[in-house]
Amino acid sequence: MKKFPLTFVMTLSLLCLILGCTVQESNLMQKETYDILIKGGTIIDGSGAQGYIADVLVQGEIISKIGRVDENTISVKQVIDARGKVVTPGFIDHHAHGNPLKTPEFNNFSGMGVTTILLGQDGDSSDDLARWMEKVDSTKTGINIGTFVGHGTIRNQAGVKLNPDPSQEDLEKMAKLVEQAMELGCFGLSTGLEYQPGSFSGQKELIAIAVPVGENHGLVSSHTRNEDDDAIQESIAELIAQGQGGHCPINISHMKVVYGHGAARAEEILLQMEEARQTGISITADMYPYQASYTGIGIVFPAWAKPPFKYDEVVKTRRSDLATYLRDRVNRRNGPAATLLGTAPWAGKTLAQIATELDKPFEDVLIDDIGPRGASGAYFVMDQELQDRLFIDPHIMVCSDGSPTMRHPRGYGSFAKIIRYYVREKKLLELEEAIYKMTGLPARTLGLDSQKRGLIQTDFAADMLIFDPERIMDKATFEAPHQISEGFDWVLVNGIPVRAEGSFTGQLGGKMLRKHHKGMKL
């Protein structure tokens, strides 16, 4: 066996020792890998708290770290420079419309910073929620989808339909259907009491169907029975009674006061809501920032000209009464020039313009040419001062009540307009307050905060926006309602950039969200 000099052996041993330590140190210093680093932005976390400058690390669908990040100590796939911009949670649209199976991208929503929408509104949801949810699960969507179960849908499923006096057995059947929907993961119950068949329900029924909502910690969100100035408080009182009877929180959908005026009128309604809170009722509302509503033309027709009554028979036997009703109703709603049709062949024309073109009174146009189911339209019936005072209340959040196809700018511009109008122009809200109304407040109202959504915090879902508030602009108008908002540079949905550097990426990061209830089938 060959022998080596002692000095050589000692040198070799020392070298091995050094190399071993180096390998160990290298292993210890191995860099952690992240998907995205958002560098140097002002974090407005959705809680209403003051913004602060920090970095954000995203790994997969989750916010991994918030604070100062040394890039030399990590490996990151993508760095986003957010210096001079704000980083906020993605907006939550508390009341929206659309079909994720037909328009899964929902670019109209993500284009204005919305990363989560709630469907199943105004008492109308899928007839088969279990199957619908499964289909949405298997469909790639641009944003997250949650849903309410609709009261009108439940009425039809139970066979009650237009019956104004359901039996006890009927009530139990409806309550059971609501219970089953809650177990599937619905966020609550929606009612549309101004529409059929919800308009046929009474207080006993409304409480019966609210009980399983309360038992499952859900929310009743209501398009109240009548939004007219002389009836709105009575309608809110009916909703408050439903919340009391069902022991559940309540929400007023797309809150408005039709042909009401002034901030003082808003104060009366806000006082009614605050007095309800003093009795233990949790009551909120959502609103969109436009002075025109949008719904079917049936809103101006009397109940006695709609099912179960036969319209043709009403026209034949009570035409004069119908004409008088329509003339008075439309004139009270700011006249025919304040009704803008959104359905072909009249889309883009006011009722006044159509009447002139056809050379007949507008009430005759409604009776003979359109009818109670013949069109939808925008109705310019709200007062700016009143609506502004309502909106700045801390218990009122933002919604669009819009969709990708609706001929109303709210489906493309609502959330951008909040920043442009209420923060930048009118200065009625600080940016942190506005962000809270679009993120933390709806998340808490729906229970999404308990699922780690709606805020920028570690371990929360990476639904985030990066933008310069000075550049946010709602482009949609009533003349051209389908215009994507500008200024939202980055929109991340579950960590996936669906909008990057101001352009849509084609990536889809959304998922079907379910509320976690005590009896939920997981």
Instruction: Name the DSSP class of 147.
Output: E
Q: Is the pLDDT of residue 10 over 70?
A: no
Mean local confidence (pLDDT), 463-480: 97
Does 192 share its domain with 276?
A: yes
Question: Would residue 36 count as lying in a domain?
Answer: no
Does 3 share its domain with 149?
A: no
Question: Would residue 426 count as lying in a domain?
Answer: yes
pLDDT at 1: 45
Question: Would residue 190 count as lying in a domain?
Answer: yes
The rounded percent of the chain whose pLDDT value lies above 70 is 93
Q: Which residue has the higher pLDDT, 75 or 521?
A: 75
pLDDT at 106: 98
**Tokens found for residue 438:** 């679009």
Q: Is the pLDDT of residue 152 over 80?
A: yes
Does 421 share its domain with 335?
A: no
Mean local confidence (pLDDT), 396-410: 97
Question: Would residue 66 count as lying in a domain?
Answer: no
388: part of which helix (H) or strand (E)?
helix 384-391
Q: Is the pLDDT of residue 487 over 60?
A: yes
With a CB cutoff of 8 Å and minimum separation 6, the contacts of 354 are 341, 346, 362, 365, 369
Does 198 share its domain with 273?
A: yes
CA-CA distance, 32 to 264, in Å (whole number)? Answer: 58
Does 234 share its domain with 286?
A: yes
Question: Would residue 374 count as lying in a domain?
Answer: yes
Cβ-in-10-Å burial (0-12, 13-18, 19+) of 226 comes to middle
Q: How many separate domains does the chain show?
A: 3
For helices 384-391 and 263-278, what crossing angle results, to 10°?
Answer: 30
Does 373 share its domain with 257?
A: no
| CA-based torsion, 129, 101, 148, 306: positive or negative | negative
327: part of which helix (H) or strand (E)?
helix 311-332
113, 272, 419, 498 from 472: Cα distances, Å: 10, 35, 7, 18
With a CB cutoff of 8 Å and minimum separation 6, the contacts of 35 are 58, 59, 60, 76, 77, 78, 495
CA-CA distance, 484 to 413, in Å (whole number)? Answer: 7
Q: What is the mean pLDDT of the chain?
A: 94
CA-CA distance, 111 to 489, in Å (whole number)? Answer: 9
CA-CA distance, 340 to 350, in Å (whole number)? Answer: 4
Q: What is the dihedral of CA 89, 94, 97, 98, to 10 degrees?
A: 30
**Tokens found for residue 289:** 């920032």
**Tokens found for residue 308:** 């179960």
pLDDT at 31: 84
Does 148 share its domain with 193?
A: yes
Q: Is the pLDDT of residue 25 over 80?
A: no
67, 80, 412, 439 from 455: Cα distances, Å: 15, 19, 23, 7
Which CATH number goes with the domain that contains 209? Answer: 3.20.20.140
Does 224 share its domain with 305?
A: no
pLDDT tens readout for residues 302-341: 999 999 999 999 999 999 999 999 999 999 999 999 999 9
Question: Would residue 46 count as lying in a domain?
Answer: no
Question: Would residue 521 count as lying in a domain?
Answer: no
The rounded percent of the chain whose pLDDT value lies above 90 is 93
With a CB cutoff of 8 Å and minimum separation 6, the contacts of 16 are none
- Mapped onto helix, strand or coil, the DSSP state of residue 355 is helix
pLDDT tens readout for residues 158-212: 999 999 999 999 999 999 999 999 999 999 999 999 999 999 999 999 999 999 9
Identity (one letter) of the amino acid at 300?
Answer: V
Q: Which residue do the tokens 């109209």 mark?
A: 108
- 20-29, 156-165, 421-430: the lowest-pLDDT one: 20-29
Note down the domain range covering 419. 89-291+382-504
Does 329 share its domain with 475?
A: no
Q: Is the pLDDT of residue 123 over 60?
A: yes
pLDDT tens readout for residues 38-74: 999 999 999 999 999 999 999 999 999 999 999 999 9
Mean local confidence (pLDDT), 350-370: 97
pLDDT at 154: 98
Mean local confidence (pLDDT), 416-425: 98
Identity (one letter) of the amino acid at 343?
Answer: T
CA-CA distance, 394 to 255, in Å (whole number)? Answer: 14
Q: Give the model's confidence band at 24: pLDDT under 50 very low, under 70 low, under 90 confident, else very high.
A: very low
Does 237 share its domain with 347?
A: no
Q: Give the model's confidence band at 516: pLDDT under 50 very low, under 70 low, under 90 confident, else very high.
A: confident
Which of 380, 400, 428 terminates a domain? The answer is 380
161, 175, 194, 385 from 242: Cα distances, Å: 20, 14, 16, 30
Does 322 share its domain with 374?
A: yes
Q: Is the pLDDT of residue 519 over 70?
A: no
Question: Would residue 95 count as lying in a domain?
Answer: yes
Does 390 share its domain with 333?
A: no
